[in-house]
Amino acid sequence: MNRNDYKIEDTFLWGGATAANQVEGAYNIDGKGLSTFDIIPFFTKEELKDRTGLPSEISEDEMLAVLNNKTSHTNFPKRRGTNFYSYFKEDIALFAEMGYKVYRFSIAWTRLFPTGFEKLPDKKGINFYRSVIAECKRYGIEPLITMSHYEMPWVISDQLNGWESKETIELFLKYTKVLLDEFSADVKYWIPFNEMNMTLISPYHGGGIIPERIRSNNIQSASFQAVHNQFVAAAKTINYGRSIANDLQFGCMIARLETYAETCKPEDQLAALKEEQMNVFYYEVAATGEYPRYLDRYLIENTIEFEKNEAEVKLLKNNIYDFLAFSYYNTYVVSEKKNEKTVDGKGNGNLIDSQENPYVKISDWGWPIDSIGFRITLNRLYDKFRLPLFVAENGLGAHDTFENGKIHDEYRIDYLSDHIEALTEAVKDGVKVLGYTAWTAIDLVSCGTNEMSKRYGFIYVDVDDYGKGTYERYRKDSFYWYKEVIASNGESIK
Ligand code: BGP
């Protein structure tokens, strides 16, 4: 038996990630249209007390109040982000100073097609992203582009109920063909959709679906229809990309929800198995082109119906992805007694309810901290699908203290070093990993809670939840630490 000492290759893509709707700001500048995230206001802790779901989920009435200027809310953090739109050259220079090999960012659909229905793209939008890509290439940083990181034109939501409608497929393809025509000479790595499973967890976030307006028999049918339409749109995009270039790599991305059973009780183990299946069926489609058989029972038992025709089934079969991307923050605990004593979940801005795990610490926002879970997930996903993996997000949201230009974020260094150590162990276990883009490259607005104060970046941005501050950038201690990690290709992490 020949021994292999697997290790992180010199080609490993170390970097960081951001999302347009959370970092760019300039929400209505240079012709950009309103995105589904521009209408979500900031809710104070007080206001959140009597709300359920993610703090960034709002009702149709609340949307209409915002759109008709009849809302009492005046604070929309995602309209400001951390103003990457103006600072992008300075920010990318800082990423280069850290030694980034790759920078994962998303393109705002509404900068190219403000409503989604325009015939031709907006030149200013194309030029902005051409400049961002040129800045990356200047420093030898590989761009990894997310074509839709949740944000989509509000008008598509309003007129078609987002991804519930099949018409949205062609609108997306019109957009992605422009991206590929304009940028595929310089951009090799593409992720069509950020965290596809978000569409089932939060239909508005992931699919632009306004629950009060669904055309399907129930919200799950509408969400499954949206996921299927997204798979079709991604397949058409991949098909087009491969017809114009032969070196493009497409990744299917999910929010990885690594789930433990609360006890060795068989019923708890079965509950964990079912959660696992609902988290990875997206990868089944990405890696095999088919929906798995276990989904059929779930659809029947939940009276879920969605349309998929023969041509679409064939399209999925003929457009397998090149890699599997995922975000990893923490692990979850499930038991058969599903709804009792959940300690984490949408109230903390997390994605699914979880029982307590007494063996791990938790973050400032109540998210478990479990680096061994990261090694487990890397093994489990690679063993099952045998496609190269890409860690598209991993990081710690925390309160940072700014004191005369310094930010001593040793807690973030601890989190990241433990997780990069786990990554190294997984690679030694034989797992093929293409790269790691920490969440986030630079402080930006939290997706789930709309807070600036939930900071993830290696770079501190002087702005608060209300947009007050200089927007000046400052290197945190973790900036210098990560620079060493990259320079040593993951060797010096402690
Ligand atoms: C993922 C999103 C990212 C990022 C991350 C952290 O779902 O892809 O956009 O926001 O979650 O979550 P949060 O920002 O809610 O702390």
d(CA 472, CA 91): 11
User: Is 20 close to ligand 1, i.e. is its CB under 6 Å away?
Assistant: no
Written as six digits, the tokens of 272 are: 């964990």
Element (H, E) at 489: none
* Alpha-carbon Rg for the chain in angstroms: 21
Cβ atoms 481, 418 nearer than 8 A: no
Specify burial of residue 437 (Cβ count, 10 A radius: 0-12, 13-18, 19+): buried
Q: State residue 297's pLDDT score.
A: 97
Is the per-residue pLDDT at 74 higher than 70? Answer: yes
Q: What is the pLDDT of residues 340-352, one digit of tens each?
A: 666 777 767 777 7
What's the 205 CA to ligand 1 centre distance in angstroms? 11
Answer whether 327 contacts ligand 1 (Cβ < 6 A).
Answer: yes
Q: One-letter amino acid identity for 86?
A: S
Q: How far does the centroid of ligand 1 lie from the alpha carbon of residue 77, in Å?
A: 14
Provide the token pair at 188.
Answer: 């090799």
Q: What is the pLDDT of residues 208-236, one digit of tens each?
A: 999 999 999 999 999 999 999 999 999 99
Instruction: Quote the CA–CA distance of 122 and 136 in Å, as a whole number.
Output: 22
Terminal Cα distance for the chain, rounded = 33
Q: For residue range 251-306, list pLDDT tens digits in order.
A: 999 999 999 999 999 999 999 999 999 999 999 999 999 999 999 999 999 999 99
Task: Grade residue 448 by pLDDT with cuts at 50, 70 and 90.
Answer: very high
Please tell me the distance from the alpha carbon of residue 406 to that of residue 427, in angstroms, as a whole number: 34
Task: Please tell me the least confidently modeled range out of 77-91, 303-317, 350-364.
Answer: 350-364
pLDDT above 90 covers what percent of the chain? 92
pLDDT at position 337: 82
Task: Give, for 135, the enclosing helix (H) or strand (E).
Answer: helix 123-138
Distance of CA 247 to the CA centre of its chain: 24
Locate the domains of the chain by residue range: 3-158+187-208+248-294+323-487
Give the SS3 label for residue 392.
strand
CA atoms within 13 A on the CB side of 190: 28
User: Which CATH number describes the domain made up of 3-158+187-208+248-294+323-487?
Assistant: 3.20.20.80
- Residue 338: pLDDT above 70? no
Judged against a pLDDT cut of 70, whether residue 471 lies above it is answered with yes
* pTM of the predicted structure, to 2 decimals: 0.97
Q: Quick check: helix, strand or coil at residue 382?
A: helix
pLDDT by residue (tens digit) across 392-440? 999 999 999 999 999 999 999 999 999 999 999 999 999 999 999 999 9
Taking each helix axis as running N to C, give the angle between helix 310-317 and helix 219-244, from 0 to 180 degrees, rounded to the nearest 10: 50
108, 37 contact by CB (below 8 A): no
Which residue's alpha carbon is nearest to atom 2 within ligand 1? 447
C-beta 81 within 6 A of ligand 1: no
Catalytic residue among 195, 275, 312, 451: 195
**Which pLDDT belongs to residue 341?**
62
Tens of pLDDT along 279-293? 999 999 999 999 999
> Does the annotation mark 484 as catalytic?
no
Identify residue 228 by its one-letter amino acid code: H
346 lines ligand 1 (CB under 6 A): no
Q: Are 235 and 316 in contact (CB under 8 A)?
A: yes
pLDDT of 12 over the 90 cut: yes
Whole-number pLDDT of residue 314: 98
